[in-house]
Amino acid sequence: MIVIFGSADNPHTRELSEKICLHGENALVISTDKTSLLETYVSLTVRNNKNSLVINQKDISCNIDEVSSAFVWQPIFQFFSSAKNNFSQDEKFWFFSWRDTLNGIYALLANKNVVINGSVINTLNNQNKLMYHCSLMGLSVRFPEFFIGNNKKDILNFLLWHKTCIIKTLHQMQLVVHDEPTMFLAKRVNAEDFMDFGTEGECPIFIQKFIEKIYDVRVTVIGDNFIACKIDASKSEYGKVDWRVYDMAHTPHSKFALPGKIKNDIQIIKKKLSMEYMTIDFCIDARGDFWILDINPFGKYLWIEDAIGEPITELLAKYLINRRRAEASL
């Protein structure tokens, strides 16, 4: 049995499970959004030194012992990503009880060696900018110079040295503006923007040297399959700095052939981070140099699949199926 954990509202989850079923394999979706968890029952029975863990959600029943491959799109819904400012003690207790229960389930599955990317902990660690930047330092892969911290003096020194930089979030938290979900896009900044930055009590920030790019490339990594998409936002007024504004009319997408060196670099990243699935965002400057801007083990791809016609969902479905069969043969 192949199990996918993620939001019921995420089309990636739905399309991936449907594609697996088309190949004659059994695929279940365990939804980790709040509404679904309110209708979910977990039972761990321990008797005579044996245990049985079963998840029941609506008309789905999943015995953890029967799971042969697991893909986690979303470990649990983002509790604080809502317009609500105050949460009751009961709400917090409920959320953290579910979070730790799901983390325990993911850990059990990791012990069975059935989780993509080894474990959810490894996946979350490699979503962390501080972690993957430092882990890959000294290798052949190239990142723009960056600063992480909240010391005003060090921030200003970095900005004065590089003149123009980009500020990004350190997290994947969804923001809410006027009751609508949104996200904090990358923005160009300089030293003047931080003259009013506090000397105490501020949170750490992520600042990166600005690269004058001519286009971007997003690579979806599925095992040894690297699906590359060129994203040219040079004619987009809003997407020049961050193409995630999704100004599709002015941001053509096209298939892209990765140079051999970049393929080798991706293999190095995979091995170093112990990753099977991730998306990697590159920007390319006028000299043709590739710079890594982001690595996301939870990266999405459906709009790229639609834009360039690459069967990414099919490749991921086959990877999960073949991974299950390989594990079953051991």
Give dist(CA 209, CA 243) in Å, integer.
Answer: 17
Is 90 exceeded by the pLDDT of residue 266? yes
**pLDDT at residue 45, as a whole number:** 84
Of all residues in the chain, what percent carry a pLDDT higher than 90?
74
Least confident of 149-153, 180-184, 209-213, 223-227: 180-184
Mean pLDDT of the chain: 90
Residue 245: closest CA among 253, 235, 236: 236
| 3 state DSSP class of 56 | strand
Helix H segments across the chain? 11-22, 34-37, 89-111, 120-125, 129-135, 152-162, 260-273, 302-308, 312-328
Order the strands of the 69-72 sheet from edge to edge: 27-31, 2-6, 69-72
**pLDDT at residue 162, as a whole number:** 92
One-character DSSP codes across 170-211: SS-PPEEETTEEE----EEE-GGGGTT--SSSPPPEEEEE--
**pLDDT at residue 80, as a whole number:** 67
Is 80 exceeded by the pLDDT of residue 228? yes
Of all residues in the chain, what percent carry a pLDDT higher than 70?
92
**pLDDT at residue 140, as a whole number:** 80
Q: pLDDT tens-digit profile of 29-44? A: 999 999 999 999 999 9
> Degrees (nearest 5) of the Cα angle 86, 88, 90?
155
Summarize the confidence of residues 319-325 as an average pLDDT.
83
CB–CB of 202/170 below 8 Å? Answer: no
Q: pLDDT tens-digit profile of 173-222? A: 666 666 666 677 888 899 999 999 988 989 999 999 999 999 999 999 99
Identify the band that residue 249 occupies on the pLDDT scale cut at 50, 70 and 90.
confident
Identify the band that residue 295 occupies on the pLDDT scale cut at 50, 70 and 90.
very high
Is 60 exceeded by the pLDDT of residue 64? yes
Identify the band that residue 330 occupies on the pLDDT scale cut at 50, 70 and 90.
very low
Residue 82: closest CA among 74, 91, 73, 90: 91
Give dist(CA 114, CA 323) in Å, integer.
Answer: 8
306 phi and psi angles, rounded to 5 deg: -70, -40
Name all domains of the chain by residue range, CATH numbers in brackets.
2-115 (no CATH), 119-141+212-308 (3.30.470.20), 145-210 (no CATH)
Give dist(CA 132, CA 141) in Å, integer.
Answer: 12
Residue 22: closest CA among 302, 317, 323, 315: 317
Q: pTM of the full predicted structure?
A: 0.91
Summarize the confidence of residues 149-154 as an average pLDDT.
95
As given in the structure block, the two tokens for residue 26 are 């059994």
**What are the residues facing 72 on neighbouring strands?**
5
**pLDDT at residue 287, as a whole number:** 94
Give dist(CA 18, CA 16) in Å, integer.
Answer: 5
User: How many CA atoms lie less than 13 Å away from 158 in the CB half-sphere?
Assistant: 24
